Chains A and B, each alone.
Chain A
Amino acid sequence: MSASILDIEDLHVTFRQGGRSIHAVRGVSLRLQPGEVVGVVGESGSGKSVAMMSVARLLDEKQAGIRADRLDLDGQPVLGLRKRQLEALRGPTVSYIFQDPLSSLNPVLTVGRQVTEGLRRHRGLDRAEARTVAIDLLRQVGIPSPELRVNQHPHEASGGMRQRMMIAMALALRPKLLIADEPTTALDVTVQADIIRLVQGIQREVGMAMIWVTHDLALLARVARRVVVMYGGRIVEDAPSSVLYSAPAHPYTRGLLDSTSRFDVPFRQQTPIPGTPPDPAQRIEACAFAPRCPRATDLCRSRIPPLEDRGQDRRAACFHPLTGGA
Chain B
Amino acid sequence: MSPRFRLRPGRRDTLGLIGATILLLAAGCALLAPWIAPHDPTAVSLLARMKPPMWIDGGSLAHPLGTDNLGRDILSRVIWGSRISLAVGVAAVIVGASIGSTIGIVAGYFGGWIDNILSVVINAQLSFPFILLAIFLLATFGGGFWPVVFVLALGAWVNYARVVRGMVMSVKNQDYVHAAISVGVPTARILRTTVLPNTLSPIVVVASFSMAQAILAEAALSFLGVGVDGSNPSWGVMLNDGRAYLQTAWWLTAMPGLAIALTVLGGNLCGDWLQDRFNPRIGN
* A and B touch in their complex, CB below 8 angstroms: yes
CB contacts under 8 Å to A, within B1-46, are 4-8
Interface string of A18-46 (1 = CB under 8 A from B): 11100000000000000000000000000
Contacts of B8 in A (CB 8 A): 18-19
Q: Would you list 9 pairs from A and B whose C-beta atoms are within 8 A, ordered by A residue?
A: A18-B4, A18-B5, A18-B6, A18-B8, A18-B282, A19-B6, A19-B7, A19-B8, A20-B4
In the complex, how many angstroms separate the beta carbon of B44 from the nearest chain A beta carbon?
A: 54
Q: What 4 A-B pairs are tightest by C-beta distance, nearest first?
A: A19-B8, A19-B6, A18-B6, A18-B4
Contacts of B5 in A (CB 8 A): 18
Q: How far is the CA of A18 from the CA of B7 in the complex (A)?
A: 8
Minimal Cβ-Cβ distance residue in A for B7: A19
The residue among B4, B5, B7 with the most chain A CB atoms within 10 A of its own CB is B4
Q: How far is the CA of A19 from the CA of B7 in the complex (A)?
A: 7
Contacts of A18 in B (CB 8 A): 4-6, 8, 282
In the complex, how many angstroms separate the beta carbon of A103 from the nearest chain B beta carbon?
A: 16
Contacts of A19 in B (CB 8 A): 6-8
Q: How far is the CA of A189 from the CA of B238 in the complex (A)?
A: 73
Q: How far is the CA of A18 from the CA of B8 in the complex (A)?
A: 7
Q: How far is the CA of A175 from the CA of B195 in the complex (A)?
A: 48
Q: How far is the CA of A7 from the CA of B187 in the complex (A)?
A: 58
Minimal Cβ-Cβ distance residue in B for A280: B284
In the complex, how many angstroms separate the beta carbon of A278 from the nearest chain B beta carbon?
A: 14
Contacts of B4 in A (CB 8 A): 18, 20
Q: How far is the CA of A213 from the CA of B6 in the complex (A)?
A: 34
In the complex, how many angstroms separate the beta carbon of B87 from the nearest chain A beta carbon?
A: 35
In the complex, how many angstroms separate the beta carbon of A44 from the nearest chain B beta carbon?
A: 10
Contacts of B282 in A (CB 8 A): 18
CB contacts under 8 Å to A, within B102-125, are none
Contacts of B7 in A (CB 8 A): 19
Q: How far is the CA of A20 from the CA of B5 in the complex (A)?
A: 11
Q: How far is the CA of A19 from the CA of B5 in the complex (A)?
A: 9
In the complex, how many angstroms separate the beta carbon of B7 from the nearest chain A beta carbon?
A: 8
Q: How far is the CA of A20 from the CA of B7 in the complex (A)?
A: 11
Q: How far is the CA of A184 from the CA of B7 in the complex (A)?
A: 40
In the complex, how many angstroms separate the beta carbon of B9 from the nearest chain A beta carbon?
A: 9
Q: How far is the CA of A7 from the CA of B4 in the complex (A)?
A: 38
Minimal Cβ-Cβ distance residue in A for B13: A19
In the complex, how many angstroms separate the beta carbon of B228 from the nearest chain A beta carbon?
A: 41
